[in-house]
Amino acid sequence: MPERLIVVGGDAAGMSAASQARRRRGADDLEIVAFERGSFTAYSACGIPYWVAGVVDDRDDLIARRPEEFREKQDIDVRLRHEVVGIDPQDGSVTVRDLADGGEQRHGYDQLMIATGAIPVRPPIEGIEADGVLGVQTLGDGQRVLDALAARQPRRAVVVGAGYIGLEMAEAMVQLGIEVTVVARGLRPMETMDADMGERIADAMRGMGIELHLDVEVTGIEVGSDGWVTGVVTSEAEHPCELVVLGTGTRPNGDLAAEAGIPTGAQGGVETDQRQRSPVAGVWAAGDCTQVFHRVARRPTAIALGTIANKQGRVAGINLGGGYATFPGVLGTAVTKICGLEIARTGLGEDEAREVGFEPVCATVASTTRAHYYPDAAWATVKVVAERESGRLLGAQIVSEEGGAKRIDVFAMALWQGIMVQDLLNVDLSYAPPFSPVWDPVLIAARKAWDAVEADRG
């Protein structure tokens, strides 16, 4: 009898793990069954705002691999619309509900891979269950937004929350000709960026025509007689609308694991070692449902990103397949494009550095993405955070026009290696007028950060 691997969740982490395990072990040696409660496998949730905006023409363009590909090419038994509702580690079994008919069955496993992803945070607001109040996490959610747009043709929309997805959806609505209001509890949009960088994002949003209300609480959602949303009430004002998009963030979906006695940690994420093994024998986990180790803060955290999920899934799959691999942690590197701005960050921001015990010094520079005389040279603002005493790089942030944000990868590589800002300022980066000034913005920011460290030393 072959060993049986059951995978809970059919998106990035789960199917990466299943695929890697299959490459190393044939069907005669390892049976793989993947249960996915949704209707799709291995798709790009990050692409949903661009699909809604019409930048991506078709939903299927966001699907990397369909269930039949896993079944036919890799002999992975993918079962859609099947939800794992219970785990019994002692018995080595899971309880699975068929969402088509509601029936439940128990399935035994030798190895269990938990890849349940993240779940949206839905604040306890009166009226939040009304029609026209929509989250954006799955392809099904994206389709519901498109259906609402087609059916109601809203003139006004309110986005609750000012994180990545919320702001990307706000821009998508503006591109569709809808008046957009963003309301958020934070003091600035995209609070993973420092305040001075967030101000630039806020200015760009207002410049695009988005009405922005910060430092407010949503106290209720008004509903019409037909059950459809008619407005959002905050501690500041009432905002009439015909559509509400929730961008209030996510948390690790570690509930199923916790109910089974599998340890969870940061924000409810499943605890794992570097090989993606949970503390419970035979149980593995990867992706947004897990906590991850932050290499700069030196503590566990939760970060929902497809890049991390795919890497963790690959590591788990190699180990499940009999190989050896480890996942060394994250830096929190992220990038997006909103309202004509490219926005990127890696490592720790200024406040985050203080929170975990560093004494930071910061340097912010304004530069251009190309030589200033070259056509279409765009502006870029780069901020570097360094440790006051040693000059060690702690993080970086970029807000720019076209061509600036991917420079964050230089900082990410430097952070990964733990280098000092004085070392970074001498790195031999490429130069030609169409691509960079003689002094690239990365080097200018590193030089200014090192000047700040030296000045502080007296």
Residues assigned a catalytic role? 46
Tokens 């990867």, located at residue:
286
Q: Which one-letter DSSP state was computed for residue 62? A: G
Q: Which residues pair with 246 in a beta bridge?
A: 135, 160
Kind and range of the H or E run holding 259: helix 255-259
CB 332 within 8 A of CB 352: no
CB 138 within 8 A of CB 224: no
The tokens for 86 are 């219970």
Tokens 């059916």, located at residue:
151
Cβ neighbors of 278 (< 8 A, separation 6 or more) are 114, 257, 262, 263, 270, 271, 272, 284, 285
* Helix 12-24 × helix 67-74 angle, to 10°: 10
Distance CA 56, CA 61 (A): 7
CB 383 within 8 A of CB 405: no
The CA-to-CA distance between both ends of the chain, in Å, stands at 72
CB 268 within 8 A of CB 255: yes
The runs of H, that is alpha helices, within 267-373 are 306-320, 350-355
The tokens for 418 are 């733990």
Task: Using CB atoms within 10 Å of the CB of residue 193, give its burial: 0 to 12 exposed, 13 to 18 middle, 19+ buried.
Answer: buried
Q: CB-side exposure of 294: number of CA atoms within 13 Å?
A: 19
Q: CB-side exposure of 336: number of CA atoms within 13 Å?
A: 20
Q: Which of 333, 350, 344 is nearest to 386 (CA)?
A: 350
CB 327 within 8 A of CB 313: no
Q: Which one-letter DSSP state was computed for residue 407? A: G
Distance CA 233, CA 457 (A): 51
Q: Which of 282, 329, 242 is nearest to 114 (CA)?
A: 282
Distance CA 362, CA 445 (A): 9
